[in-house]
Amino acid sequence: MIAPSLLSGDFLNLHKDIEMVNNSDADWFHLDIMDGVFVPNISFGIPIVEAIKQIATKPLDVHLMIVQPEKYIKSFRNAGADIINVHYEACTHLHRTIEEIHATGAKAAVTINPHTSVNLLEDIVSMVDMVLVMSVNPGFGGQSFIENSFKKIERLKEIILRKNSPSLIEVDGGINSSNAPLLFKSGADILVSGNFIFKSADPIQTIRELKFCRG
């Protein structure tokens, strides 16, 4: 599956980019929420998610790069989030936070930064719907893919299978048609892509290229 990140879209013309994703082979919208504290950048918040929801015809995958994400679960759910991703590094009581996300009816995902070992997920992987592996340090679109991510995905896949978890694996950051085939091969189910899609000459075709590169 492919989840285009609107962070790389045209903010003066989001309507056009949302329609493009609606009409493409993409599966979800990936929405990057940054607070300027957890990550060194500020993006957009609840009112924008609410506006996107009005015309998006695919699920909203909301990636919270914020401290104390538990404070905003209900607000993002009410704004239209279908999947809520919280960072492992931002949650002191991750187990409770996952329960709180599920209580709203949303799917719950835990996200790990490049420095966080997948081994730390042993005791939480059975209760999440997805693990999001960051393949760049979060905060900005257009960064270079960190090669160590392949190994992390393979090890995470082993843990998921061993624990009999239904969890999907999503990967986010620096993804393009060169690394996508190996990411799918390593065990990724969903690839997020921002710059590679939105800065390309034909985003619809680029989405198709990413989606079908697993052969």
Annotated catalytic sites, by residue? 32, 172
Mark 11-30 with x for binding to ligand DX5 (rule: CB under 6 A) and - for no binding: -------------------x
Could you say which residues in the range 24-63 bind ligand DX5, by CB under 6 A?
30, 32, 63
Q: Does 172 bind Zn ion (CB under 5 A)?
A: yes
Cβ atoms within 10 Å, residue 40: 11
175 binds, options Zn ion, ligand DX5, none, Cβ within 5 to 8 A by partner type? ligand DX5
Q: How far is the CB of 130 from ligand DX5 (least distance, A)?
A: 14
The closest of 48, 54, 64, 68 to 19, measured between CA atoms, is 54
Could you say which residues in the range 131-160 bind ligand DX5, by CB under 6 A?
136, 138-143
The residue of the chain with the least Cβ separation from Zn ion equals 63
Q: Does 7 bind ligand DX5 (CB under 6 A)?
A: yes
DSSP string computed for 62-88: EEEESSSGGGGHHHHHHHT-SEEEEEG
83 binds, options ligand DX5, Zn ion, none, Cβ within 5 to 8 A by partner type? none
Cβ(183)–Cβ(153) below 8 Å: yes
Residue type, 130: M
Q: Does 203 bind ligand DX5 (CB under 6 A)?
A: no
- Return d(Cα 6, Cα 182) in angstroms, integer: 24
- Return d(Cα 169, Cα 173) in angstroms, integer: 14
Could you say which residues in the range 30-89 bind Zn ion, by CB under 5 A?
32, 63
Q: Does 169 bind ligand DX5 (CB under 6 A)?
A: no
59 binds, options ligand DX5, Zn ion, none, Cβ within 5 to 8 A by partner type? none
Sign of the CA dihedral running 82, 88, 90, 93: positive
Cβ(211)–Cβ(181) below 8 Å: no
- Return d(Cα 93, Cα 82) in angstroms, integer: 22
Query: Using CB under 6 A, which of the segments 1-9, 19-27, 72-80, 118-126 binds ligand DX5?
Result: 1-9
Sign of the CA dihedral running 185, 142, 6, 71: positive
Q: How far is the CB of 42 from Zn ion (least distance, A)?
A: 14
- Binding interface with ligand DX5 (CB under 6 A): 5, 7-8, 30, 32, 63, 136, 138-143, 172-175, 192-196
- Binding interface with Zn ion (CB under 5 A): 32, 63, 172
